[in-house]
Every structure is written in structure tokens, then in C-alpha cells.
Amino acid sequence: MAEHYDAQAVETKWQQRWEQQGAYQVDNDDPRPSYYVLCMYPYPSGPAHQGHIRNYTFGDLLVRQRTMQGYAVLSPIGFDSFGLPAENAAIKTGTHPRLYTEARIEELKSSLKRLGASYDWRREIRSHDPLYMRWNQLIFQKFLDAGLAYRKNAPVNWCPGCQTVLANEQVLADGTCERSGDVVVKRDLEQWFFRITDYADVLLDELDGLHWPERVKTMQRNWIGRSEGAEFELRVDGRDDEEAIRVFTTRPDTSFGMTFVVLAPEHPLVDRITTDDRRLEVEAFVERVRHESDIERQSSEAPLERRGVFTGAHAINPFTGKPVPVFLADYVLITYGTGAIMAVPGQDQRDWDFATAFDLPIIRTVEPPVDWVDGPYLGDGPAVNSDWLDGLPVAQAKAKAIDWLESQGIGERKVNYRLRDWLLSRQRYWGCPIPVVHCPIDGIVKVPEDQLPVLLPDDVEFRPTGESPLRYHAGFLYTTCPKCGGPAERETDTMDTFVDSSWYFERFCDPWTTSEPIDMEAATRWMAVDQYIGGIEHAILHLLYARFYTRALGDLGLAPVDVREPFVRLFTQGMITMDGSKMSKSRGNLVAPEHYFDGVGADALRLFHLFVGPPADDFDWAEQTDQMIEGCHRFLGRLWRLGIRAVDRVELVEREPTESDLEMEKETHRLIDRVSSDFDRWSYNTAVAAAMEFVNAVYRRIQSPDAARRESVDFAVDSLLLLLAPMAPHITAELWERRHPGSPSVHTQAWPVADPAQVKVDVVTMVVQLNGKVCTRIEVGAGIGESDAIDLVQADPKVVKAIAGRSVKRVIARPPGLVNLVV
């Protein structure tokens, strides 16, 4: 009776052995060529969920394959351990966020170990580790020195649910918080910002060179939102130059068609230019808009007549010298451009609508096509009604208009971005404190470097008041000014957790160094990350911030300056959903991996995640999913019996290779070729399918009446184990050890390489078509020539019968695959 496949025993054995041997530790002086694989470090919310399993299975596969290919693979892991859920749990249950978080980390860590994922655990980073906090704070101070971090009072996004401000990136398109779903409101607050806009153009330009999904690059391009145009001044009729209105436009070529000007209601000139007869109405309008939230204002469905108001003032269009009326409208934003626009209804939809509503003139300055019906024309065409621009296409007219503005000294070329500076301060406890004090005499003063990190006090009370517990903690709050020694208050805001995740991948290169945040030598060796793997949900936030940080750190001499981009290649895996919605703790639709570890085993679960579909596609967890996982387990059972040479007690024979034995060897080479190329193109599902198909074929051969040659079968099975090692690491390690006692682990063997001569097939099935429809198939030699193929086809009895005497008009021969006869 052959020993059956016991996943528990095998997996426990190997996990223990890997841990004891430190099998996945990689030293910085490893002589092999470097390869850095990284999965986005997780927020520790408890045991792993299926999304984690999927993510870390893909990563682990690559780590193991690259290791077999001869690389020193850096594969670190850590925990994004600051964040709101721990603090909310503290308010609810009274457990301290640190204890809560560390318990969750242990659970998640256990899951990852049971998955059999290979990490250099010595390099583990936790964001809340005082050593990491120290460097996080030091980097902040360097940014402060460099003017990259600053403080300003601004209307900011306040989430009443999270009781903190949010970055623009954390507010969804519908105006709700990406985390809690509450409607975000505007509040004027003094906040900390990072000057990410300084890097807007490079962050945009350098996207081109990245091997990232096009979708993600597009999302970042849209988010940065570069627009090129001109900025220029319009004198207000009857006023001096001090009160000129600056406008930004992407269409300076259409300036002759400007028939009015619109200011944002918050524009500083509103009060000064409004005429007395219009003042009451204007003030009422400004007042009304001020009381609207951003979402109300943006989603306003009020009729246009109510969304704007005439100020009574007129501005002089510098191109025509003629006055045009100045309006206010809620759709003009004070936060973009100059907060004022020139309106050209002939070439802009909103201006057209506004002009129609207020009965303002419309002048076309670009000739629309002859069949143009109505409405603003946004396309290219010759300029009209534009004096010295007439006849020029849009691009040339733009350039000429800008040249003119510059020659007149009233305007210039200008680029604007949609991207705003990154608001990083949070009014919460469980985050990294911002390391400054506020002194009534010296203002903002950095906490001296030798006093870093500023730690979070443990003895705080978590109350649902909405204010950070740090504000009530006298011991933390009251301090002395490092400069003058007088009484001062500590900053009680903490950093956005996206700060922590913006440089952890650089710290992984040498997480031990105590003299600087990033060890230059180590980072030079390992950076950039060769392959980064994570969820699409981080397409903008994390991936943009990390790119900004990498550049800024390089520019400040804190990281290798030649590492301009952190992630060379990015892979975004699909989501696991259930009934179409995201799996999450709050929805209560988590399917715990532990259940499968205890049952079919980690290898079967890994194989399932690889097999179920393209890694980039979403997968909906459904009724049949368990049975599919069972199927993967069944496959491993078949592999097991092959591996221990116990397939139905079949005896393999020693003999000179027969035709069939040689064919199996060729199939083996083809499998090696197939799996290798499938891996290279992230097609794990087809790689698994090929392995299954191969196992079926080997079974058929050894169970056939003339059996199979031992040597050929051994080559087939050993190759199979090597190819499956990155996918199902435990069972392959066990079988390899049993088959090769005393040999090094399967995971340190060289990745197999197919012999190209063996990959080639010599007999192929040639499809014979009649008028494009399949008529028959003929086995032919792979090297068959065109005329031989045609002769063969025309001699085929089936073909002769099908043609039935009709004349062949045309022959399309694509030997050896196909011949098509047209009759």
C-alpha cells in the first residue's frame, strides 16, 4: 500500500526546516546578481485573507523562480502597522493600539508562514517600530529644511467619521472618504503639506519609461493633470493695473472670441471691482456659495442663471481692446489656475452654456467643419474672426498668441497641474508624530536629532471625542523649546500612514543601520525594486507618493541619487470578490485561508490561486470554488503518486528508448519551454494547465500496455518537480528529497532549460479547408513544402469527394499548418 499524500505532514516539515535553516536569508554581499521582488507590505488586520494569499503567492513564485535562475533575490516583508482601525478598536474595546496591532501582526505572520512564502524575516519592518519612526521623523525634518514640508492654513478635507483631515487623494469622486464612506466637508485648518507639486512634471514625464500597466500610468497622468497654456492680465475698465485680473487658459488662440470673464466667488478682487448697483446681489451670491460644501457645489443642478452673477465691472480684452462683462460663477475654482477665466463660448461647452443662459454674445474663432450643427466647436481648424490669427490652425495660433502676449508684457506661457500638495498631517494618535514643537517665541522648531524619535506616550485615554488623545496628554503636549528653553507645545498631529510606506522599500535594503535612514551602499546594490506586486487600489495614492519620496530622498542625498524611480516593473493583481463586491471584514464575507491550510494544504490553495484565471483579472469567490480547490488537491495527489513511483503499482522498465519514450522526452522539453514562457508573461493559469496536461500524458504512457522506460519517466517527473517548485514549494521539496536523497533542495536547483532541438515537433496536423471551412486533417512532416502539401491535399480521398468535380479556383497554402482550397 503506497503512502498517500499528507499535505499537513509535508508542509509542517518543510516550513520548520526552512525556518531553522534561514533558507531565504540573503546577505548584502551575496556575489550572485541581484533581483529585488516586493509585494506591497500589508496593513495587519488579522489573519491573511484570500487577496493576501493571491498577492503573496504571485510574489513567492517569482522569488523562487529567480532564485533557481541564479539570482540573489531580496524578498523582504513588513507591516504597515500604523493606522486608524487599531485606534478605533482601542476606542471600542480599550485595548491599546500597540498591543492590538502586534497581536494582529502575529496572526498575519502565521498565515504567511503557513503559506510557505519565502521571506528574509530578519529584515522585517514595522512602521510603528521606534527605530523606523526615528528615521521617518528625521526624513520629515530634512524635508522641512529643504522647504519640501511646510505648514499652511487652507480649506482642507475633513472626514467626520475618521475625525481627521484627508489628502485629496483619499477623497473619492463622489466627495466621500475612501475609508469610512462619510461625506467629506471643507474646514479651514492649519496643516502640514509636502511639496509634491514641485515634482509634478518629472512624475508625469518619467511615467513613460516604466514597465507598468498602461491603466495605472493613465490614472497617474490624469491625476497629475498637466495642462499647457498661457496666463495673462486683463485690465478692469476704469481701474488701475493693481486691480488687473489674471486668467489662465489652454486656448490663447481663441482670445478674440472672449465675450466675458468669470471669477471664482472667493476671488480676492471680487469686493473691489463690484459696482455699487450690483453689490447686494453679488454679496448674496458669494454668501450662498460659501455655505455649500464642495460636493454640493460640484454636483449642483441648479439652473445656470442661478449659478453665476454679474459684477457690474468690465475687463478689457487685450486682443481686441474691447470691454467684456465680468461675472462670478460657482464652477470656477479658486484652487486651480488663477481662480479666473476668460470665457470663449464658441470653443468651450461650459462657456457656451453660460453665455446662452445669460444671453451673452458668441463669437466663433475656429472655423467648424461644414456639416457642423450647433454648439461649441473644440476641434482643429483655421482661425476666424481673429484679425492677425486668421487662417492659422490651432497649434500655430496658440504659439503666435502667446508670443504676442509676451511681446506686450502682459502674459506668458504657463503650465498648470491638477495635482495639489500632499496634506500629510492627521489629528490621530496611532501614527508617527511630527517631530516639531511650537514655541511662542521661535515659532516652529525641530526636535533635536539626538532626541528622536518622538515617541507616542502609552498612558493615554481613548475617548470618542474626535480629538487626538495627544492633545489631552500634558506630559506629551507641554515641553520646552529646544532653541530658547522657554515653554512650548509639542505638535500633536501625526503623519499620514502613506508617509511610512513611501520609503520602506529602501529601508529593506539594510534595515539594521543605525546611522542613517537608508544605507547608501545597500540601496545602491538592491534598488530599484525589479518587480513590485500589489493591488490596483494603490494606483494613485501609494505609488505616486513613493515615486515622489524616492526622488526627493535622492535629491536630498538621503538615498542613491541615480535611483530615480522606485519600481521598475509593477504588476497589479486582480481583486477577489464575492457576489461582485470586495471581500472584507466589515462585509463579513471573508473566506479564511487557515481552513484550507488545515484541509487540502497551502500548496493546493496556492495552485488554485495560480490556476483559476489570469492573475490580473478579478475573481469572484463562488459556490464551486471549494470544488476547484479540491481539484487542485487531487492533481497534487496524482503528482505525489508519480513522484513516489506508486502509480497503480506500475513497474517501469529498463530498456533502449522506444519511439514512445523519446516522444515523452520531447514532451518534457516542450513543457519546460511552455512553463518558462508562461511565467515570463504572467500566465500562471496556463502554466498550471500545461503541467496538468503533462501529468495526464505521463500517466497514459506508463499505464499503456508497453509501459515506459524508467529513465524517460524520471526525466519527466524530475523536470516537472523543478517547474512546479515555485508554485507548490512543499510537495516538490518533499518529493525531490525522496527521489534524490542527499541532494540539495529542489529550490536551490537550477531552473531547467529546454533543448530547442527537442522542442521542435516533427509531425503536425495540417488542416485542410474548403472555402475556409474545415474539411479534413492530414498528418504531415513539419518541414513539408508548399507544393508537396498541395499534392497531398489534392490526393486525399475526402478532399476529392468534397470537391465533387468542381474546379479549384485558388489555393492558399500555409504549410505545415493549413491548406485552403477555394472552389
Contact set for RNA, span 513-542 (CB under 7 A) = 536, 540
Least Å from the CB of residue 43 to RNA = 18
CB of 622 to RNA, least distance (A): 6
Q: CB of 341: closest distance to RNA in angstroms?
A: 4
x/- binding map, residues 230-259, to RNA, per CB under 7 A?
A: ------------------xxxx--------
Residue matched to cell numbers 494613485? 540
Examine residue 203 and tell whether it contacts RNA (CB under 7 A): no
Among 455, 484, 763, 812, contact with RNA (rule: CB under 7 A): 812
Strand runs labelled E in 491-599? 494-495, 529-535, 567-573, 576-578, 581-582
Q: Please say which residue, 290 or 700, places its beta carbon nearer to RNA.
A: 700
Q: Which three cell numbers stand for residue 3?
A: 503512502
Of 354, 334, 349, 364, the C-alpha closest to 246 is 334
Least distance from RNA to the Cβ atom of residue 692, Å = 4
* Per CB under 7 A, 366 contacts RNA: no
C-alpha 708/C-alpha 645 separation (Å) is 12
Q: Are 650 and 707 in contact (CB under 8 A)?
A: yes
Judged by beta carbon, residue 342 or residue 735, the one nearer RNA is 342
Identity of the residue numbered 251: R
Q: CB-wise, 25 or 660, nearer to RNA?
A: 660
Compute the least distance from the CB of residue 304 to RNA, in Å: 9
Residue 89 DSSP SS3: helix
169 vs 491, which CB is nearer to RNA?
169
Dist CA 748 CA 372 (whole Å): 69
Residue 488 beta carbon to RNA: minimum distance, rounded to whole angstroms: 38
In one letter, which amino acid is 529?
V
Q: Which of 125, 456, 522, 688 is close enough to bind RNA by CB under 7 A?
A: 688
Count the site residues for RNA by CB under 7 A: 86
Smallest gap from Cβ 24 to RNA, in A, equals: 29
Q: Which of 248, 192, 198, 653 is nearest to 427 (CA)?
A: 192
Asked whether position 477 contacts RNA by CB under 7 A, the answer is no
Instruction: Say how far apart CA 211 and CA 214 lie, in whole Å.
Output: 9
Contacts to RNA from residues 156-185, by CB under 7 A? 172-173
CB-nearer residue toward RNA: 2 or 484: 2
The three grid cell numbers given for residue 62, joined into one nine-digit string = 517569482
Closest to RNA by CB, 8 vs 451, is: 8
Residue choice 166, 612, 698, 746 for contact with RNA (CB under 7 A)? 612
Least distance between RNA and beta carbon 32 (Å): 29
Q: Which of residues 713-772 bind RNA (CB under 7 A)?
A: 765, 767, 769, 771-772
Please, which contacts does 172-175 make with residues 24 or more away whose CB atoms are closer than 8 Å? Answer: 174/295, 175/293, 175/294, 175/295, 175/298, 175/299
Cβ at position 688, least distance to RNA in Å: 7
Stretch touching RNA by CB under 7 A, among 233-241, 294-302, 376-384, 706-714: 294-302
Q: Which of 631, 650, 666, 676 binds RNA (CB under 7 A)?
A: 631
The torsion region of residue 137 among left (phi > 0), alpha (psi -120 to 50) and beta comes to alpha
Distance from chain centroid for Cα 809: 55
If one asks whether residue 774 binds RNA (CB under 7 A), the answer comes out as yes
Nearer to RNA, 109 or 251 (CB): 251
Q: Min. distance of Cβ 306 from RNA in angstroms?
A: 11
Residues 781-810 within binding reach of RNA (CB under 7 A) = 810
The residue range among 96-104, 280-288, 445-453, 684-692 that interacts with RNA, by the rule CB under 7 A, is 684-692
Among the listed residues 63, 167, 692, 708, the single contact to RNA using CB under 7 A: 692
Given the complex with RNA, which of 447 and 639 has the nearer CB atom? Answer: 639
78-117 residues near RNA, rule: CB under 7 A = none
760/814 with CB nearer RNA:
814
Task: Answer whether 267's CB lies under 8 Å from 340's CB.
Answer: yes
Stretch of 101-109, 189-197, 235-243, 612-620 contacting RNA, by CB under 7 A: 612-620
Q: Is 373 in the site for RNA (CB under 7 A)?
A: no
Task: Look at the alpha carbons of 162, 164, 169, 172 in this order and tell me if their dihedral is positive or negative.
Answer: positive
Q: Are 503 and 542 in contact (CB under 8 A)?
A: no
Q: Which of 307, 398, 542, 551 binds RNA (CB under 7 A)?
A: 307
Nearer Cβ to RNA, position 248 or 319? 248
- Least distance (Å) between residue 189 CB and RNA: 19
- Report the nearest approach of RNA to the CB of residue 807 (Å): 15
Nearest-angstrom CA–CA distance, 743 and 254: 77
DSSP class per residue in 723-735: HHTTTSHHHHHHH
- Report the amino acid identity of residue 744: P
Q: Which amino acid is at 151?
A: R
> Contacting RNA (CB under 7 A), which of 658, 676, 685, 749?
685
> Mask 205-234, x = binds RNA (CB under 7 A)?
---------xx--xx--xx-x-x-x-----
Between the alpha carbon of residue 221 and those of residues 171, 200, 201, 210, 217, the distances in Å are 18, 10, 10, 13, 6
Question: d(Cα 271, Cα 268) in Å, to the nearest integer?
Answer: 7
As measured in angstroms, the least distance from the Cβ of 375 to RNA is 12
- Can you read off the three cell numbers belonging to residue 46? 488579522
Q: What's the closest the beta carbon of residue 628 comes to RNA, in angstroms?
A: 5
Binding mask 548-587 for RNA (x = CB under 7 A): --------------------------------x-------
C-alpha distance from residue 506 to each of 201, 452, 570, 588, 609 (Å): 23, 20, 16, 36, 29
Rounded Cα distance, 493 and 424, in Å: 9
Q: How far is the CB of 161 from RNA (least distance, A)?
A: 19
Distance of CA 23 to the CA centre of its chain: 30
Answer yes or no whether residue 677 interacts with RNA by CB under 7 A.
yes
Under 8 Å between Cβ of 743 and 722: no
- Tell me the closest approach of the beta carbon of residue 514 to RNA, in angstroms: 40
Report the site for RNA in 323-352 (rule: CB under 7 A). 330-333, 335-337, 339, 341-342, 348, 350
Closest-CA residue to 606 (of 646, 570, 633, 642): 633
Residue 276: C-alpha distances to residues 67, 109, 273, 279, 785 (Å): 78, 70, 9, 5, 93
CA distances from 720 to 385, 716, 745, 746, 757 (A): 75, 6, 15, 11, 19
Say if residues 325 and 314 touch (Cβ distance below 8 Å): yes
Interface with RNA in residues 406-435 (CB under 7 A): 416, 418
Residue number, 99 or 774, with CB nearest to RNA? 774
Classified as helix, coil or strand, 437 is strand
207: left (phi over 0), alpha (psi -120 to 50) or beta: alpha
Which of 613, 652, 711, 761 is the binder for RNA (CB under 7 A)?
613
As a whole number of angstroms, the distance between CA 823 and CA 821 comes to 6
Q: Which of 2, 9, 455, 628 binds RNA (CB under 7 A)?
A: 628
Neighbours of 657 (CB within 10 A): 14
User: Do 723 and 752 touch, CB atoms closer than 8 A?
Assistant: yes
Q: What is the DSSP letter of 653?
A: B
In the bound state with RNA, the residue whose beta carbon lies nearer, of 289 and 522, is 289
Interface pick for RNA out of 160, 637, 657, 781 (rule CB under 7 A): 637
Q: What's the grid cell of residue 110?
A: 502565521
Which of the ranges 71-79, 152-160, 506-514, 815-823 carries the binding residues for RNA, by CB under 7 A?
A: 815-823
Q: Would you count residue 197 as binding RNA (CB under 7 A)?
A: no
Q: Does 264 bind RNA (CB under 7 A)?
A: yes
